[in-house]
Structure 1
């Protein structure tokens, strides 16, 4: 029986807040082999405000302890009552495999975000080229769904690459949108034929010959690219060789940059340490846990928390996902993030623990 209390107007609801609410699974759907879409609503009847192409970080309750995994939203903010992630389970993907086996309608999970700068809203243009491979199609689908709802006349060349025909994620929906959006041109490229279904389209890997066939005017378009790193690197090299203006090239990547190993901070200043050594560590108090720790010069608040036995949720650990956002009660930090925190959150005293380094004694709500 449908809960009639779910029927509320948008202006009667507040936006979803990841500090206060969690997500409830409302549907799980198969999209392709080893690919599923998980659709969520808020557990507090709130609506979702984000840009198409952004991502969320889910806290998955696996047996060995919470596991943080970041997924791009495949849904569109033009339909704000739910959000969805479409994920592919690789052989060794612990988090995604757990979702496939255990995440069912009615279950609740914590989430952080949405966050990220990979959105056509940040780069308005007259013409777009969306290039993707595998599950990299998800942010493109979010943007295309928004365009279909809000600006269906937009000129979009949509190029999607897959290994076999049955592995083209969202193929049926894309073909339907192709019949409804006058400015949408679809180009599918597969690497090998399949015994499961016939194929009469383009074959091979994207290169300097096939790209002009799929999008003859690609030099005139704002390009968005997402897929495995080797795929994105090939697309970048191809565009640079073709003389494309790379200021109009944008890609989504969750790759973590190299992190310099730092020694663990002192639990306390060692007895007999020299004045210079003592001055190299900064006290950090974690008020919720009631723990006192110290942080060596150059270390992050997250590293100090871990050394002190204080758990702060973290996923990307380079200032992008926003998962490690905590409130700074007092003290000063140097924070160099990659878009994972908003200016108004910083004004409220929040920091990202993974990319904040103490400049003075700190008190953190953790």
Structure 2
């Protein structure tokens, strides 16, 4: 009797990508209060990504599909599964839906991977990872990769939490520190806990504590991730210390606020009625031809024509709406959600691209 082999070499499998969207939940694990790790596989596929990147899930909620972006906490050195470590805030719709509905055997659609927050693009001899709360996830992805592939790398790892029991991955980090001789691990909590004793640092990271935790931080490539107020404090602290900010990297999922420039005043006699400009867009895979009115983006035109392009942040930051431009020119104003080599290959972000000429889009 022939049996299906469970073992397949990677060169016998296809890498997962945007066209191979469906993921199967294979494990759900509690990490800390209101924090779970969801592990996924894609049958017969392997995962190719850079440590620190993120994917976008399409969650089928009762009110309709909900797009949410989460950083991968797993390492590409273990390519048969990927993992997302998610903290469920009280007012969060997406993460609460995941906590209530995702169980082993469940399926969910996903897009990606995306993002430029990775040590692979900033190779150096010494790193410092600074994080708070669930901002630890990209740091864990990078540290797991280093453990598997370059365990002698000099890494300073500083994580801040409210209480000791809220330190995500604490046991695994302490175990890694026993196997990585050049890993310096530090935790800072804001308050003690009645659940367990704590003999470590108490308070918040500042210009006094950082040199104690990492005396040579000025010599390191620094990666920072956490809530926006936390990252602002770290950035200001480093700037005040004279750190070379060209070596500072931070991850955030909030688009920068654009300065509002008032429109110039026109005298009554200077008024001219606007001329409506319409640009044709052909969505090749959907077989749809549409008209884009001046001021509209490719994404807005697609939606108005019934063409589905996945999108999450819609500010040019997450990269979920990345599509291939087959021909034509666009004006694209993004916030880091697409790489230069992707642009060179003809990709655009539909949410922040306006056509300059007739377009053919692979969607």
Pairwise same-fold verdict (TM > 0.5):
yes
Deviation of 1:362 after TM superposition, in Å, equals 3.0
Q: Work out the CA distance in 2 between the residues paired with 1:339 and 1:68.
A: 19
Q: Work out the CA distance in 1 between the residues paired with 2:342 and 2:213.
A: 43
Q: Which residue is equivalent to 2:27?
A: 27
When residues 147 and 327 of structure 1 are mapped into structure 2, their CA distance, relative to the original with a 3 A threshold, is closer
SS for the counterpart of 1:66 is strand
When residues 38 and 318 of structure 1 are mapped into structure 2, their CA distance, relative to the original with a 3 A threshold, is same
What pairs up with 1:197-276 in 2 under 5 angstroms?
197-258=196-257
Question: Residue 277 in 1 paired to residue 275 in 2?
Answer: yes
Q: Which residue is equivalent to 2:110?
A: 111
| Cα deviation code 1:129-176 (max 9, x no counterpart) | 100000000000001001111111111110000000000000000000
Q: Which residue is equivalent to 2:8?
A: 8
Q: Work out the CA distance in 1 between the residues paired with 2:345 and 2:136.
A: 35
What pairs up with 1:333-344 in 2 under 5 angstroms?
333-338=330-335, 340-341=337-338
8 Å contact kept, 2:324–2:347: yes
8 Å contact kept, 2:132–2:159: yes
Aligned length: 350
Greater mean alpha carbon deviation, residues 108-117 or residues 24-33: 108-117
8 Å contact kept, 2:72–2:141: yes
SS for the counterpart of 1:145 is helix
When residues 7 and 308 of structure 1 are mapped into structure 2, their CA distance, relative to the original with a 3 A threshold, is same
Greater mean alpha carbon deviation, residues 321-330 or residues 287-296: 287-296
When residues 243 and 259 of structure 1 are mapped into structure 2, their CA distance, relative to the original with a 3 A threshold, is closer
Q: Which residue is equivalent to 2:89?
A: 90
| Cα deviation code 1:75-120 (max 9, x no counterpart) | 0011111110101000111000000000111111111111111111
Deviation of 1:276 after TM superposition, in Å, equals 5.6
8 Å contact kept, 1:257–1:318: no
When residues 326 and 199 of structure 1 are mapped into structure 2, their CA distance, relative to the original with a 3 A threshold, is same
Q: Which residue is equivalent to 1:357?
A: 354
Question: Residue 166 in 1 paired to residue 165 in 2?
Answer: yes
Deviation of 1:347 after TM superposition, in Å, equals 6.4
What are structure 2's unaligned runs of at least 5 residues? 261-271
Q: Which residue is equivalent to 1:268?
A: none
RMSD, aligned α-carbons: 2.4
For normalisation by structure 2, the TM-score amounts to: 0.89
Q: Which residue is equivalent to 1:39?
A: 39
When residues 208 and 297 of structure 1 are mapped into structure 2, their CA distance, relative to the original with a 3 A threshold, is same
Deviation of 1:296 after TM superposition, in Å, equals 3.1
Greater mean alpha carbon deviation, residues 211-220 or residues 187-196: 211-220
Q: Work out the CA distance in 1 between the residues paired with 2:91 and 2:110.
A: 22
